[in-house]
Amino acid sequence: MICKPPHLNFAILISGPNGTYIVDTPIINPTTLEGYSPQYICQNLDSFPQIIQASDMIQNVINMAYPTGSCPT
């Protein structure tokens, strides 16, 4: 299926002492990454505010699940 506008949809399950959260959202529009190689993107993450915002959003959900700031791995 082709979606308009195009998007990358993620479903991330985060569970901790404060409950279980599902992050289910189109976090990053792929047109933002168009024309860049995966290597370039990984080496220049700070140049993509959309990636930083998505990372911050996921970190906030982790903090809600694990209020102590430590997430066991």
pLDDT in tens, the chain (73 residues): 455 555 566 788 888 888 888 888 667 777 888 899 989 999 998 999 988 988 888 888 888 888 776 655 5
Residue-wise DSSP of 5-47: S--EEEEEEEEETTEEEEEEEEEE-GGGTTT--HHHHHHTGGG
The number of angstroms, rounded, from the C-alpha of 31 to the middle of its chain's C-alpha atoms is 16
What pTM was computed for the model?
0.68
Q: What is the DSSP letter of 68?
A: T
Q: In whole angstroms, what is the distance from residue 19 CA to residue 34 CA?
A: 36
